[in-house]
Amino acid sequence: MGNLIRSKRFWLIAPAVLYIGFFMAVPLGQMAYVSILERGDYGAVNWGVFSFDAYASFLFERDLMDNLMFNTDYLQIFARSFGLSAMTMVFALVLGFPTAFYISMQPQARRNFLIFLVTIPFWTNILVRNYAWMLLLRNGGLIDNGLAWLGYESGGLDILYTPYAVSIGLTYTYLPFMVLPIYASLEKLDHRLIEAAFDLGADKWRAMTRVILPLAAPGIAAGCILVFIPCLGAYVTPELLGGGKFMMIANLIGSQFGAARNWPFGAALGFVLLAFVLLSMMIYAMKFKSLPEEKL
Amino acid sequence: MKIDTSNPLWRFRGITPMAMFFFAYLYLPILVLIVLSFNENRLATIWTGFSTDWYRVALSNDDMLRAAKNSLVIAVSATVIATTAATLAALGMARQRFRGETGVAAMLVLPLLVPEIVTAIATLLFFVAIGVQLGLISVIAAHTVFCIPFAYLPIRARLDGMDPALAEAANDLYANEWQAFRRVTFPLLWPGIMSGAMLSFIISLDDFVISYFVGGAGATTLPIYIFGMIRMGITPEVNAVSALMLIISIVFVSISFLIDRIRY
């Protein structure tokens, strides 16, 4: 310990680590603690009074006679979140893999530029990106007018504020996270292996499915996690493109701190979401020996 | 390894059209938004003629300017604190490995792993529990957390790419540790620090979810204001403000990437 305090390295690293520890690790621990507390009468929480109500209320609600009733409302929101995230992951993979492959086939200077193009939207405001899709998708918007111009009935698109719109927006938002790790693994790929496959009589389909895809597997897995996980926690897209009608987990959590005012329940949901995220990261790290983040 | 992409053997059917579709999908909404922000029509999505009126309307909206000022104060404060802490941490983490390094490294990128909504409510609960008044200060404190990894990663990458012989040479030439840092390491690290600072600035300026929960009434940021406007309806004024935010982000990120490519 004395050595530690004297070492210069400790004092260099300490501010950042202590800051994150105090303003993030401690709050996360406290959130787990709040999730097992009793809900206060006027919102907030009864500190020090323990209760598992928050976890029970995920599946059961009390009716007027104080009987526990099975309630699938929240389960439906979780199912919708997982379904939309899985769908988004598949869309992102179908679009992202060919794009990553295409980029990896370009000359070096062009590759860097294309990768830069892929990352730019990530740095722009998420509200603005989703708002842009509202302009495109709404009735009387650009796509609707385009269809009308092609001879379809105008005003008949009716896609904004549906799960389809949410899915389009989610795919748009998280697409770069699919391309970057796949590109990173394709870039390292030894092309002699593919040539060898051709020499041994493989056609393109076989070279792709038997050589390229298996070699890109760690990148594909990382991309899938990096799309699926943030998708599960998406707040803005369901709020704007779903019009608040198609809640996902994050919106349910948020509403517990707004009108619903059930902090322990919100904390419990947050804790479940966090546990799920950390668990998938750990499984990935054990399988591929590094965190997906390091691939970016 | 170089490959001959003109060789038809390397052409997989469908790859190029798919990539073209990808880039169109990525940039169509951005282009549409920017084009429509110059539309003179009140109806926001029907083009009738070029005009910069909506920018004038947006820029003379006092509430929005106040929100923009809040955003700026928050972003600058969070960036300065986060970049300073991140630079020190990167200097401490570089070179020799040490026990517990993996844990420390995980802690430094923890804010990137935790879903935004979870960070937002955990921080809110924490501030309420310790009795911190929600406002600009609480938002700055919360933003600094997620700005640290965004500043740390480019600085660390730059340090790792630096030739250790340069600092050793300074020592051989009788520079003391501080002089070696001040005259050799720091100037070489500077582009990394700038790049990290710009990324934290933009990520703070763009943040919505965390500010929304931790901000309270007194700290309406520009994204929160825009959210309110979008909720009220699609108007040409929102188009103009959104296009402005978009352009600011793109300019900053481009500069950050250009700085990062300055040679060692």
C-alpha distances out from residue A294 to B65, B72, B106, Å? 39, 30, 11
For residue A296, the model assigns a pLDDT of 43
Do A178 and A184 contact (CB within 8 A), yes or no? Answer: no
| Mean predicted confidence (pLDDT) in A212-223 | 88
For residue B19, the model assigns a pLDDT of 92
Find tokens 């420390």 and name the residue. B104
CB-based contacts of A221, cutoff 8 Å, min separation 6: A284, A287, A288, A292
For residue B193, the model assigns a pLDDT of 93
For residue B67, pLDDT beyond 50: yes
For residue B263, pLDDT beyond 70: no
For residue B76, the model assigns a pLDDT of 97
Average predicted confidence (pLDDT) for chain B: 87
CB-based contacts of B242, cutoff 8 Å, min separation 6: A125, A127, A128, A131, A132, B33, B37, B226
For residue B44, the model assigns a pLDDT of 56
Instruction: Determine, for residues A135 and B252 on separate chains, whether the beta-carbon distance falls below 8 Å.
Output: no
User: Each residue of A178-200: pLDDT tens digit?
Assistant: 999 999 889 888 878 888 888 88
Confidence of residue B81 (pLDDT cuts 50, 70, 90): very high
Q: Which residue of A has its CA nearest to B98?
A: A9
Chain B residues with beta carbon closer than 8 angstroms to that of A279: none
Do B208 and B229 contact (CB within 8 A), yes or no? Answer: no
For residue A83, pLDDT beyond 90: yes
Find tokens 């825009």 and name the residue. B226
Residues in chain B: 264
Exposed (0-12), middle (13-18) or buried (19+): which is B154, by Cβ within 10 Å? buried
Instruction: Determine, for residues A135 and B234 on separate chains, whether the beta-carbon distance falls below 8 Å.
Output: yes
Disruptive mutation site among A33, A128, A173, A273 for chain B (greatest number of B CBs within 10 Å): A128
For residue A95, the model assigns a pLDDT of 93
Euclidean distance between CA atoms B91 and B189, whole angstroms = 10
- Cβ neighbours around A29 below 10 Å, total: 12
For residue B96, the model assigns a pLDDT of 72
Residue in B148, B203, B253 closest to A20 by CB: B148
C-alpha distances out from residue B168 to A87, B174, B213, Å? 53, 10, 48
DSSP per-residue letters across B164-229: HHHHHHHHHTT--HHHHIIIIIHHHHHHHHHHHHHHHHHHHHH--HHHHHH--TT---HHHHHHHH
Show which of residues 112-131 on chain A sit within 8 Å of chain B, judged by CB atoms: 116-121, 123-129, 131
Lowest mean pLDDT across A57-66, A243-252, B51-60, B109-118: A57-66
User: Each residue of B191-203: pLDDT tens digit?
Assistant: 899 989 998 999 9
Output the six-digit token pair for B151.
């500043």
CATH 3.40.50.261, domain A72-295, yes or no: no
Question: B141 — contact with chain A (CB < 8 Å)?
Answer: yes
Question: A78 — contact with chain B (CB < 8 Å)?
Answer: no
Chain B residues with beta carbon closer than 8 angstroms to that of A124: 30, 206, 245-246, 249-250
> Domains (ranges, CATH) in chain B?
56-260 (1.10.3720.10)
Q: What is the DSSP letter of A23?
A: I
Q: Crossing angle for the helix pair B136-160 and A8-20, nearest 10 degrees?
A: 140
Euclidean distance between CA atoms A281 and B127, whole angstroms = 28
| Mean predicted confidence (pLDDT) in B165-185 | 85
ipTM of the complex: 0.87
Question: A206 — contact with chain B (CB < 8 Å)?
Answer: no
Ordered alpha helix ranges (H), chain A: 2-6, 8-20, 26-34, 53-56, 73-104, 108-123, 126-137, 142-149, 163-187, 191-199, 204-206, 213-232, 236-240, 249-256, 263-288
Find tokens 């394709």 and name the residue. A186
Euclidean distance between CA atoms B74 and B211, whole angstroms = 10
For residue B5, the model assigns a pLDDT of 60
Confidence of residue A37 (pLDDT cuts 50, 70, 90): confident
Confidence of residue A154 (pLDDT cuts 50, 70, 90): low
Lowest mean pLDDT across B24-28, B94-98, B150-154, B191-195: B94-98
Instruction: Determine, for residues A277 and B114 on separate chains, whether the beta-carbon distance falls below 8 Å.
Output: yes
For residue B9, the model assigns a pLDDT of 64
Question: A23 — contact with chain B (CB < 8 Å)?
Answer: yes
Radius of gyration of chain B (CA): 23
User: Each residue of A4-34: pLDDT tens digit?
Assistant: 556 788 889 999 999 999 999 999 999 999 8
Chain B residues with beta carbon closer than 8 angstroms to that of A204: 12-13
Euclidean distance between CA atoms A84 and A87, whole angstroms = 5
Find tokens 């690790």 and name the residue. A25
For residue A208, the model assigns a pLDDT of 84
Euclidean distance between CA atoms A219 and A185, whole angstroms = 5
Average predicted confidence (pLDDT) for chain A: 85
